[in-house]
Structure 1
Amino acid sequence: MPVFADVDTGVDDAMALAYLLASDDADIVGIASTAGNVPVDQVCVNNLGLLALCGVDDIPVSRGSERPLATPLRTAEDTHGPEGLGYAQLPVGDLRLTDYDAATAWVRAAREHPGELVGLVTGPLTNLALAMRIEPGLPRLLRRLVIMGGAFDYRGNTTPVAEWNISVDPESGSEVFTVWGAAWGLDEPAHLPIVLGLNLTEHAMMTPAILSRLAAAAGSATTPMSVLDDRGTRSAAANPLIRVLEDAMRFYFEFHFDQGEGYLAHLHDPLAAAVALDPDLVTYRQATVDVELTGTLTRGMTVADWRGHWGRHLNAHIGVGVDPEVFFDRFITRVGPFAAALG
């Protein structure tokens, strides 16, 4: 399947891209760099470096907007590290960005693969909103869209009620959901975007034990991580991809531990990547979603109208159930051998 990935790479975005690169059923036709976890230029560096690490030189990477639609940019180096990938260091290759921006890249990919393209967004929705302004028919050009964002009847991770990706650019989230509902709505509910919020993705908890299984699947000897390790201990893995992923994940583990969640990490974005290729991994409920833009305490909150109180078109399939073991088995089965092939 042709896949267009819009990312703000980001530890878990990097894991999502690794999953897509490792998947025989995915043909990544473009990557859009979105300002979010780190500024957009650093996102571009991370995307190009990850492709170089994986020996991939034929996927176009485009630079997106430097800021959200209506507000200053906030970033999350405390969560992902000063360069977005924790303690990991990526190679500097010869790959270059496209001469067109990320919104244009969205439109080009959709027009080149009408009715076939799978869109995946694991960062703020800025680039997608701008693309829909260029091509209002974009929703009808996609085969499906998967969004990692929001929190439905669930706590936020940025404010008490708001999830990070949506809270960075609430206006773009509201715009995307509104336009998508108008484009499809009640006519073709099967084509509504799949939205995976914290209520679902926080069930995908990576642990040191699961990460060790990934290294074993890659045939790479490594030292299992522990909460007792010194902060910033670097990976001993011989495999270059496993080493990068472990160094990135250690920072992510440490962040979650400091937040009182345990020595683990939520793999929001890799789960979204897996669902982009196989929607049956998750169960859903249809609803109408909008984003609160003006609430003093609730700005950035995703609100789901489950019962049709608003009288508006449906605009989302909201993920409500997942089996994490199935997801992690699939992740390891794909990424492990892919890493092994890199040496």
Structure 2
Amino acid sequence: MNYRICALCCALIAWTLVAPAQAQDAGRKVIIDDEGFELMHLTLLESSKIDVIGITSVSGNTWANRATAMALRGLEISGHEAVPVAEGATYPLLNSEALTDRWEALYGKLTWKGAWMKEWVEPTVQSTPDYFGPDDPVNLPQGNPTLQPTGEIAANFMIRLVRAHPGEITIVACGPLTNLALAQRLDPGFASLVGELIYMGGSLNPQQVLDNVSAEQFAREFENSPRREFNVRFDPEAASIVSRSPWPKLTVVPIDPSTGTQRTPELLQRMSKAAKPGVAEFIAQLEPGFPLWDEIVAGYLLDPGIATETEDLYVDYNTQFGPGYGDMLSWHEHYQPGLGERKAHVVRTVDAKRLEALMVEAMREGAR
């Protein structure tokens, strides 16, 4: 009997030592809410620190159906077929292509319009995106996926997972915030059950940092309208709802820190060289010259130390259909209007080299 008790005690001690290590090995539970499949997705999927438990799509840079197909194809290419994908909102809550055309006629041209983009206003080194309708057939250049989405609406998918893992899930949002706003309106307890929301959106006062043609051309987006940013401008009402939702922890990555970053041919080469087959070929085909907008969010999740300057601000967004529609609003403590806006931890600048190192290391981890 004593031997059995001793053996049981040893087993319990061994379990208590192994269980935390197993939990750590599982990685931080993450849902990615975005508008396609890019380096940000690969950085988190390939990292040993992250357990991506789902991807949700949303219209923004492209329509939700195309974003869904891109995510599914990306998962096939990268060998993460088990990650479920739920298709999200096709349209913003109130904004539309027709309203955007009317706004431009009144207040001037937008630099980037995402799914509504037909041409650049000025010549640019970046390629002109193909224009599609929201229900057009999807034929991806890299081939269409054989995987299928879950069939569950993205907002419901997120609500279900968050309720199954209260306080454990980090949501990484790198597109318009429509899905999150819908989830919060459907389930008022949704935001409070999320461990942390980190989203890329908004703009405070970005300044051109890099000295090259690409950086100069992207500065057109903010040099005369420093509070405007595409993800929010596509669906300002959703961004305002998200800003007023009770997240236990809220981190905002505005466009500001991206001005010191760039997807260079050298970075793509380093990542491709470190990555496993399939992923390496995918990275090698990406177009260089873009800032690392979404990748900053992934990098911050992996290592908050990449942030070299942060600030706590109350944040909301302008939903009045006027010249400032979609502009970021921010206040220091005591100055906020008190209409439900929440305090956010805002990332102002990042260490670009440290970010790039994290991205390359994630590829190495995925290749092991």
Output the TM-score relative to the length of structure 2: 0.73
Task: State the Cα distance separating 1:294 from its structure 2 match.
Answer: 1.6
Listed one character per residue, the Cα deviations across residues 1-26 of structure 1 (whole Å, up to 9, x for unaligned) are: 110110011xxx51111011111111
Task: State the Cα distance separating 1:280 from its structure 2 match.
Answer: 3.4
Asked if structure 2 preserves the Cα contact closer than 8 Å seen for 1:33 and 1:63, the reply is yes
Aligned to 2:108: none
Aligned to 1:281: 306
AA partner of residue 148 (structure 2): R
Q: Distance in 1 between matches of 2:365 and 2:251?
A: 29
Aligned to 1:166: 232
Aligned to 1:24: 48
Aligned to 1:293: 319
Asked if structure 2 preserves the Cα contact closer than 8 Å seen for 1:3 and 1:117, the reply is yes
2:82 is the alignment partner of 1:58: yes
Q: Secondary structure at the match of 2:191?
A: helix
AA partner of residue 15 (structure 1): L
Q: Secondary structure at the match of 1:109?
A: helix
| 1:156-235 to 2 correspondences below 5 Å | 157=221, 160=225, 161-178=227-244, 180=245, 183=246, 191-218=248-275
Q: Distance in 2 between matches of 1:92 and 1:240?
A: 15
The CA RMSD over aligned residues, in Å, is 2.4
Higher normalized contact order (CA 8 Å, seq sep 6+, divided by chain length)? 1
Counterpart pick for 1:324 among 352, 363, 367: 352
- Which stretches in structure 2 are left out of the alignment for 5+ residues? 1-27, 98-112, 120-125, 133-139, 208-219
- Which stretches in structure 1 are left out of the alignment for 5+ residues? 185-190, 220-238, 254-263
Asked if structure 2 preserves the Cα contact closer than 8 Å seen for 1:6 and 1:121, the reply is yes
Say if 1:68 and 1:52 are closer, same or farther in 2 by CA, change over 3 A: same
Say if 1:198 and 1:140 are closer, same or farther in 2 by CA, change over 3 A: same
Asked if structure 1 preserves the Cα contact closer than 8 Å seen for 2:92 and 2:234, the reply is yes
Asked if structure 1 preserves the Cα contact closer than 8 Å seen for 2:312 and 2:345, the reply is yes
Q: Distance in 2 between matches of 1:195 and 1:164?
A: 14
Counterpart pick for 2:163 among 111, 114, 125: 111
Say if 1:64 and 1:135 are closer, same or farther in 2 by CA, change over 3 A: same
Q: Distance in 2 between matches of 1:168 and 1:115?
A: 29
Percent identity, please.
26
Say if 1:170 and 1:92 are closer, same or farther in 2 by CA, change over 3 A: same
2:295 is the alignment partner of 1:270: yes
Task: State the Cα distance separating 1:296 from its structure 2 match.
Answer: 2.5
Output the TM-score relative to the length of structure 1: 0.79
AA partner of residue 89 (structure 1): P
Say if 1:280 and 1:299 are closer, same or farther in 2 by CA, change over 3 A: same
Q: Distance in 2 between matches of 1:136 and 1:61?
A: 23
AA partner of residue 344 (structure 2): A
AA partner of residue 197 (structure 1): P
Q: Distance in 2 between matches of 1:130 and 1:208?
A: 38
